[in-house]
Amino acid sequence: MTMADEEENKVDSEDEEVTEVEGAEDIGEDNEGETEEVDSPDAIESDDAQSFDKYQEDLADVLGYAKQISGRLEVLVPSLLDTADATNSAADVSRRASLTLEKGLNQVQKRVQELDEASAKSNQLSGYILIGAVTILVLSVGVFGFMAQQLSSKTTQIDAMLVALSKRVVNMNSALSLFDEINSTMNNLAIEQASFSDAQMSLIESVKNAERLAGAIKSDVPEAAARRVATETAKVVKDIKNLRNDVGRVNKSVSDLNKRVTTQANSLKTMQGQVGNIKALNADVQSLITLERAKYLDVLRRQVALEESRELGEEPDEEDVPSVVSYPPIPTQ
């Protein structure tokens, strides 16, 4: 309980005493009126004198009480005025602090909203980039598969050509072996008919003609087969060169595709790093809000302690108590 409350209680008790004295005077007057009707004139005069003296004494007491009350009121009024001024100043400080805090929180909320919007845009952009990279990768895989299929079909054709060439070589070898067998047969026939040379001259001439014909056939057939083999071999070599060129183009396309995939992967890593920086910035903003809230509560505690010390009439410690909470500038990105 403060000194102002004690003085108010004293004034109330004095007012109650004054009312009791007035009530006692009224009762005394009533009793005197009743006794006037019964007593004699002398008794009435003596009672009037006594009541007048008593009234003067009561009046003097009332005036004394009134002076005491007025003196106490004069002492109490400055304290009440100081208390009212302190209350008004505290309310003003609280109002300014609340306005400043509200402005600071609005600024922080705006920055947080901007950061959220930037994060959403970066996430959307990274999604678009990822979709584009996947699309390019799928298309590249499709092109590579198509080229691989074409290469496989050409390889199959070359294999078929080689099989056909090998079959032709086998047939040519079988024909040559057949001609060798015919030559050996004719030689055997010439040896067997040597003893009949005189009787069968015509037969010998026919055999010689057959031998010359066989020799001509033997010399003509290998040359034609060799020319045909050379022609087919040149075609095969040309097809192999074309196949090598196609394989080189496929390898070049695959290397370009690998370079593009590497570039897209680096872009995705860069976007992930930017998202990590935004998350760290959000954490810094949250910690800044917590710190400033603690500072504001500390300032309010100091103000409350100062007001209590003023109400108790104590001298506060000389230290600078800020009336307005100031926030440090938030770095923009």
CB 4 within 8 A of CB 76: yes
> Looking at residue 281, what is its pLDDT?
64
Q: Who's near 93: CB < 8 A, 6+ residues apart?
A: 303, 323
Q: Indicate the helix (H) or strand (E) that contains 330.
A: none
Q: Which amino acid is at 246?
A: D
Provide the 10 A C-beta neighbour count for residue 93: 19
Q: Which tokens in the block code for residue 299?
A: 């300032």
214 has pLDDT over 70: no
Q: What is the pTM of this model?
A: 0.25
> Looking at residue 239, what is its pLDDT?
65
Compute φ and ψ for 221, nearest 5 degrees.
Answer: -65, -50
How far apart CA 150 and CA 76 sit, in angstroms, is 109
CB 21 within 8 A of CB 61: yes
How far apart CA 87 and CA 81 sit, in angstroms, is 10
How far apart CA 333 and CA 329 sit, in angstroms, is 13
Q: Which amino acid is at 150?
A: Q
291 has pLDDT over 70: yes
Q: Which tokens in the block code for residue 240?
A: 């192999």
The 8-class DSSP code of residue 39 comes to S
How far apart CA 260 and CA 251 sit, in angstroms, is 14
> Looking at residue 97, what is its pLDDT?
81
CA angle 315, 320, 322 (to 5 degrees): 115
185 has pLDDT over 90: no
Question: What is the domain partition of the chain in residue ranges?
Answer: 3-311
Q: Which tokens in the block code for residue 244?
A: 């090598």
Concatenating the DSSP letter of every residue in 196-262 gives TTTTTHHHHHHHHHHHHHHHHHHHHHHHHHHHHHHHHHHHHHHHHHHHHHHHHHHHHHHHHHHHHHH
Is the model more confident about 121 or about 21? 121
pLDDT tens string 247-257: 666 667 656 66
How far apart CA 26 and CA 231 sit, in angstroms, is 157
Q: Which amino acid is at 55?
A: Y
324 pLDDT band, cuts 50/70/90, is: very low
114 has pLDDT over 60: yes
The 8-class DSSP code of residue 328 comes to P
How far apart CA 237 and CA 158 sit, in angstroms, is 10
CA angle 98, 100, 101 (to 5 degrees): 65
CB 306 within 8 A of CB 316: yes
Q: Which of 106-110, 213-217, 244-248, 279-283 has the lowest mean pLDDT?
A: 213-217
> Looking at residue 332, what is its pLDDT?
44
How far apart CA 211 and CA 217 sit, in angstroms, is 10
The residue among 154, 168, 152, 304 whose CA lies nearest residue 230 is 168
pLDDT tens string 58-109: 777 777 777 777 777 777 777 777 787 788 888 888 788 888 888 888 888 8
18 has pLDDT over 50: no
Q: Who's near 311: CB < 8 A, 6+ residues apart?
A: 2, 83, 86
